[in-house]
Structure 1
């Protein structure tokens, strides 16, 4: 519940009237109407008592009690109308009849009940008016047309019955319409609140996904290059004095790998900067909150920019896998590359994913199974491309290069492959090595 709604509810509770009245001013209005109706019926009770031959005080008291019934018009409108019909023959309670019919027509009573009571009031008023008008004409001796008495009776009965009933039906329909609109507005407000909550959840999910994607890209770019640089640096340290030409070659390799790592990092940072500028322009056009730009909007825009960069042909692809294998060989690893099937054009995202899977698998071998023989298999099939990197047991048992590992390599590969609708499997082999396999649909990413 909003603060405004809470204030409104509090104010409504303060203004609530006694008994069945929802508001105090409604109780004051009904009390005033009942007072006026009691005075009217009390004055009319004088003539009724004289005509009926009863004591005048008794007629006045009867009129006061009868007119006071109007006080309960909101709670029991049927009772008010029935009492007004009952005293019609006594020629009293005109105000009570008008207000009672209006209240009954504006209530939630069934239409057939309203029509029946209104018809009874109409007939009663017509009969009393017909009799009284005919007596007046006879007493005065005025010569009038034969249609005069019925016409006057019809006009009086309709004038005292139809207007309050029609007005009450109009007010009741308008009240129900307003309540329906109010309920619809409340429902829309609740739906908007739910949509806002879901939008916040989607924004949080987008931020989480974007952080994961950036972490995966950084891991793939940095881990492989830096791992190779560490291995070459260790070899450089070992042969610096014994074999200067080889040391120079290793130093050149370290420099090349460092430059390649910086180039890939620069491309990634450029994608992020372009995504941030696009998100800022979109937020400026939409007039949105500025603080949302570096979180959700930048993440989505960066993802879009990354996809655009992939479509534009930036980043490594399957054509670079042979060079990747060559770099691993230069560290002293024994790597065999096997390609089956005829190579063809794939969506850029598929090619990058295939490259990253092979890259990360070779990095893991370099970290955890130094000296082990590695077989890289790449198969171009009819509607998919498959890759497999398998290494045997390392020389002298499971050696470790001493490189740090965060345990995110396999997770990142699985996320990349499954995001394109592919299949990823990894695990130890019977020979004591390790195998990483992935299958990617050649058109899944484009769809």
Structure 2
């Protein structure tokens, strides 16, 4: 039963595999090498027992036990190397020595331990090979040069030690590199997933901001115009029979205001449509054909919101239209005074529009909740900012609420507009029983 996870089943298999093996083929390989090594050492144990005048069975058992140590080469490679060094004088365990050195070099063991054990194995093999080669020369009686035995010993010992160590170091370094690349790929995948989540959050935030901005614009346009139309309609109803000329004038004003409201609504909707089209084109140009299918829905929302907001700010009303706005309120019968201080100058479009909307919403609130009250509109151009204030006194004794519906979001919308540009907004009742709305906008609020 092969399982994954952190648990361990009845067979002793962990989340990493079978014991210290990760795959079944690793078990097969190590067991196979251990059997071959045990067979080799068992055969070499026969010659060892004969040379040492020991029972052959004892030499075979010793060789089988020594060779089978190779089965733990992945878990304890240093133990395999130490056993191979120990049996080197008995001239057995050549396969165990080669495989053990390779496994040790490929493991995570410190380099000093690898070097020390490899040096011990090299010295042991060199001594045994030197003695065996010298004895063979003496036994055969062949006349050789002095360098023959040392060269043979050095070549054989180096041939059995250096290749497995170098190969093991290479395989270990390659394995660590692959693990590092795999971890880096996993980390990049997690980062990409996190970036995608953040992009989705930013897109949702952009959609929410755009919905809020549209609602605010709709409120400012519709509430003010419709409130004036309601007041003029009430006046028209009151004077229709008594003063036909005034009734005709009020009817014309109602029609003009209705047309103005429709015009502003069409302009705002047109800006939104054009902003979405520009955003889609920009997103399509910024990404490749495959990535565009995923990036356009997110990028289009943010670009549409930015494009629509910028276009609406540039094409919307500004502080130059405040005087006309005050005139419209006067036409309804409100007593409105306008005071302008300082030298007028050009401001960023968003500052112009925000100042206009604050005055517009304040006058609309006076029309709704303090009909008949005297209103004072103050506009001050300062060195690095522009300030506006709309203050109304208490309503006349005979005046009551105009009965117009209110969503309760007028002051909230004004505060959001002003604070978004880094300004200050204050509103509240006055000591005289009226209401005051004040706002200060920095000259470079957009920055």
Could you say which TM-score interval applies, normalised by the shorter chain?
A: over 0.9
Taking a change above 3 Å as real, the CA distance of residues 275 and 294 of structure 1, as seen in their structure-2 partners, is: farther
CA drift of 1:300 comes to 3.4
Taking structure 1 as reference, are residues 420 and 323 closer, same or farther at Cα in structure 2, changes over 3 Å only?
same
Q: Under a length normalisation based on structure 1, what TM-score does the superposition of the two structures give?
A: 0.93
* Aligned pair partner of 1:297 in 289, 296, 300: 300
1:163 maps onto 2:163 in alignment: yes
Change in 2 beyond 3 A, CA 1:397/1:363: same
Gaps of 5+ in 2: 7-12
Q: Who is 1:173 aligned against?
A: 173
Matched, 1:373 2:387: no
TM-superposed deviation, 1:296: 6.5
Residues in 2 aligned to 1:281 and 1:131: alpha-carbon distance in whole angstroms: 84
Structure 1: gaps of 5 or more residues = 1-6
Q: Distance in 2 between matches of 1:279 and 1:76?
A: 63
Label 1:296 to 1:138 Cα distance change in 2 as closer, same or farther (>3 A): closer
> Which stretch shows the higher mean deviation, 63-72 or 343-352?
343-352
Tell me how large the CA RMSD over aligned residues is: 2.1
Distance 1:297 1:398, change over 3 A: farther
Give the Å deviation of 1:229: 0.2
Q: Deviations for 1:82-136, whole angstroms, at most 9, x for unmatched residues?
A: 1111111111100000000001111111111111111111111111110110010
- Give the distance between the partners of 2:154 and 2:294, measured in 1 at CA: 74
Counterparts in 2 of 1:295 and 1:410: CA distance versus 1, 3 Å: farther
The 3 A distance-change label for structure 1 pair 346 and 235 is same
Aligned to 2:426: 425
- 2:18 counterpart SS class: coil
- Structure 1 contact 129–156 (Cα < 8 Å) conserved: yes
Secondary structure of the corresponding residue to residue 336 of structure 2:
strand
Tell me which residue corresponds to 1:320: 321
Task: Give me the TM-score of the superposition, normalised by structure 2.
Answer: 0.93
**In the TM superposition, what is the alpha-carbon distance from 1:298 to its structure 2 partner?**
3.8
Does the aligned pair in 1 maintain the 2:338–2:378 contact within 8 Å? Answer: yes
Post-superposition shift, 1:315? Answer: 2.1
Would you say how many aligned residue pairs link Structure 1 and Structure 2? 437
> Match for residue 24 of structure 1?
24
SS in 2 for 1:146: coil
CA contact (8 A) 1:15 1:23 kept: no
Distance 1:307 1:163, change over 3 A: same
Partner of residue 245, structure 1: 245
Aligned with 1:364: secondary structure?
Answer: helix
Deviations 1:181-201 (CA, angstroms, capped at 9, x unpaired): 111111111111111111111
Q: Which segment is superposed worse, 15-24 or 253-262?
A: 15-24
- Contact persistence 2:224–2:360 (CA under 8 A): yes
Aligned partner of 2:413 in structure 1 is: 412
Alignment of 1:30-45 (within 5 A): 30-45=30-45
5 Å matches for 1:166-205? 166-205=166-205
Are the equivalent residues in 1 in contact too, given 2:203–2:301 (CA < 8 A)?
Answer: no
